[in-house]
Amino acid sequence: MDLFTLATFTFAYAIAVLVPGPGVAAVVARALGGGFKGAFPMVLGILAGDLVYFVFAVFGLAAIATWFGPIFVIIRWAGAAYLLYIAWKFWTAKPGAEQMKPRNEDALKTFLAGFSLTMGNPKTIVFYLAILPTVISLDQMNPLAFVELTAIVVVVLLIIGCGYAWLASAAREMFRSEKALGRLNKTAGAMMATAAGLVVLQH
């Protein structure tokens, strides 16, 4: 694919990822509550979900998302429930100096929360179905074009997702007192609960 086409897709996708939504809110909340390491698995989970929808769109499998609609509803509610659980943990956490230390939280659960968050959002595949035909005819998609577009999705989402996580984590490091940590925990909890609400309200 020519550079102009790749640049167009990259620009459109970057804007879509940059716009705050349930994914951004969840990543920021996770980083505020558990640092960058705590948020990174969620970024990977969101990326995995994005790639699944991207493959669906590229290979004309959008019908699968419609056919198995009830499954995606279940995934959405399960993801929202786990985000609410995380929100409750942040809200009720007792602030202390130990909170500033990196925590080895369950990376798999965090990854699955990010994955279910994306899979429960059908707007993701709608975006791909809207933008891809303007970039390349899907019936003419070849292996090289698929690899190029996949690489763009991976690189852009990782850079922006990790950027949000790093900024939130850096802000967390600015707060050292127990009072400030308590407020930070409640902020993270509120943001995570908001993310869960946005997931449920997605259509």
The DSSP result for 87-144, as a single string, is HHHHHHPPP-GGGGS-----HHHHHHHHHHHHHT-THHHHHHHHHHHHHS-GGG--HH
User: Which 3 state secondary structure label does DSSP give 61?
Assistant: coil
Tens digit of each residue's pLDDT, the chain (203 residues): 778 778 878 887 888 787 767 788 888 888 887 788 889 999 999 999 999 988 887 776 555 555 666 666 676 677 667 667 767 876 776 655 444 444 556 888 889 888 988 887 767 777 777 677 666 666 667 888 889 999 999 999 999 999 999 988 887 766 555 666 677 677 767 776 776 676 566 55
Q: What is the reported pLDDT for 102? A: 42
Q: Which helix (H) or strand (E) holds 137?
A: none
Q: Which residues neighbour 110 within 8 Å (Cβ) at sequence distance 6 or greater?
A: 30, 38, 39, 41, 42, 45
Domain that holds residue 42: 3-176
Count of domains observed in the chain = 1
Q: Is residue 62 part of a domain?
A: yes
The number of beta carbons lying within 10 Å of the beta carbon of residue 117 is: 31
User: Which 3 state secondary structure label does DSSP give 66?
Assistant: helix
pTM assigned to the model = 0.70
Q: Is residue 183 part of a domain?
A: no
Q: Is residue 203 part of a domain?
A: no
Contact at 8 Å (CB) between 136 and 1? yes
